[in-house]
Structure 1
Amino acid sequence: MSQVQENAGGIRSENCQAITPHLVCAGAADAIDFYKKAFGAEEEMRLAGANGKLMHAAVRVGNARFMLVDELPEWGSSSPITLGGSPVTIHLYVADVDAFVERAVKAGAILRMPVEDMFWGDRYGIIEDPFGHKWSVATHKRDMSEREIEEAMKKFMPSSDCTS
């Protein structure tokens, strides 16, 4: 039997990452529109239930796919807005973090951490989308060894007691 099978949503497993975020949104259709405008996302599919709520949708940003669904409290599916926030941050690498974050903020994202060069070699910032999901966004600038990163962290955060 083939290891690659089509699931009910029409997405083939061979095209999925090993870990694929599945976001619960209060207004998943609006979230797709936001991700298209703010992130340059491409919609791959959407499946609406009889009530009009999205039962499944998938979008792609660069080479990363994520799925979306509307809140369905009867299924135990609540958004970060309903829950009062999320402890999860989704990390996204992009070609130009400054332009990406600027576009996202113009589209309605909240800037949580301004973009700056970080001690581990990335240019990095954090935004929160209007649906309560946090995104750390980065452009890789330089390769560094673990030792170089540790030394740079000590300079960046001198009071840190983190060691390898």
Structure 2
Amino acid sequence: MTGRPVHPGVMPHLICRGAAAAIDFYVKAFGATEMMRLPDRKGLLMHASVMVNGSMVMLMDEYLDYGARSPQSLGGTPVVMHMTVPDVDKAFATAVAAGATVVMPVADMFWGDRYGQVEDPFGHRWSLATTVKQLSPDEIMENLRKMEQAP
């Protein structure tokens, strides 16, 4: 096989209502690098890819006739894309300034991360985190128990 790179691992393949605008958003919000666009005759993107935080993310436009539905058509998404970043507060602020909606503000979490969630304008959810303290599974469980007992 020649000509096409092979990408090991698991990659999200996002269906977006407005995939071209989604690419522009991901560049502004997450520092993505556009890799390719494959438009159909009508200008919809049959396939595209970007690199986000060192990982490939594939995306395409919504094609209702083929069952390719975006979160907007489905009434939301049960999936959250997660990114570990060097400075969660800065990355979160950048995403919000680019048009993301705050789902969960950044806060210190019982598992040792500063963590927050945003939803992009296309209905996809993203969590952003920076590890501030490495904790063992026992320490995480203890912190969870303390949190559950707090008034």
* Aligned AA (2:109): M
How far did residue 58 of structure 1 move?
A: 0.6
After superposition, the CA RMSD in angstroms is: 1.4
* Aligned AA (1:148): E
Instruction: Tell me, in whole angstroms, the C-alpha distance in 1 between the residues paired with 2:8 and 2:15.
Output: 19
Q: What TM-score do you get using the length of structure 1 for normalisation?
A: 0.87
1:131 matched to which residue of 2? 122
Q: Does 1:18 align with 2:9?
A: yes
Instruction: Tell me, in whole angstroms, the C-alpha distance in 2 between the residues paired with 1:33 and 1:122.
Output: 29
1:98 matched to which residue of 2? 89
1:71 matched to which residue of 2? 62
Q: For residue 157 of structure 1, give the secondary structure of its aligned residue in structure 2.
A: helix
Instruction: Tell me, in whole angstroms, the C-alpha distance in 2 between the residues paired with 1:72 and 1:54.
Output: 10
Q: Does 1:120 align with 2:111?
A: yes
Task: In structure 2, list runs of 5 or more residues that go unmatched.
Answer: none
Say if 1:6 and 1:32 are closer, same or farther in 2 by CA, change over 3 A.
farther
Residue pair 1:17, 1:65 contacting (<8 A) in 2 also: no
1:50 matched to which residue of 2? 41
How far did residue 57 of structure 1 move?
A: 0.6
Q: For residue 46 of structure 1, give the secondary structure of its aligned residue in structure 2.
A: strand
How far did residue 119 of structure 1 move?
A: 0.8
Instruction: Tell me, in whole angstroms, the C-alpha distance in 2 between the residues paired with 1:112 and 1:31.
Output: 18
Residue pair 2:30, 2:53 contacting (<8 A) in 1 also: no
Q: Does 1:40 align with 2:31?
A: yes
Deviant stretches of 4+, over 6 Å: none
How far did residue 158 of structure 1 move?
A: 2.5
Deviations 1:4-42 (Å, cap 9, x if unpaired)? x458xx4x11xx341100000000000000000111110
* Aligned AA (2:23): I
Q: What TM-score do you get using the length of structure 2 for normalisation?
A: 0.94
Q: For residue 68 of structure 1, give the secondary structure of its aligned residue in structure 2.
A: strand
Residue pair 2:53, 2:83 contacting (<8 A) in 1 also: no
Identity of aligned residues (%): 51
Q: Give the length in aligned residue pairs.
A: 150
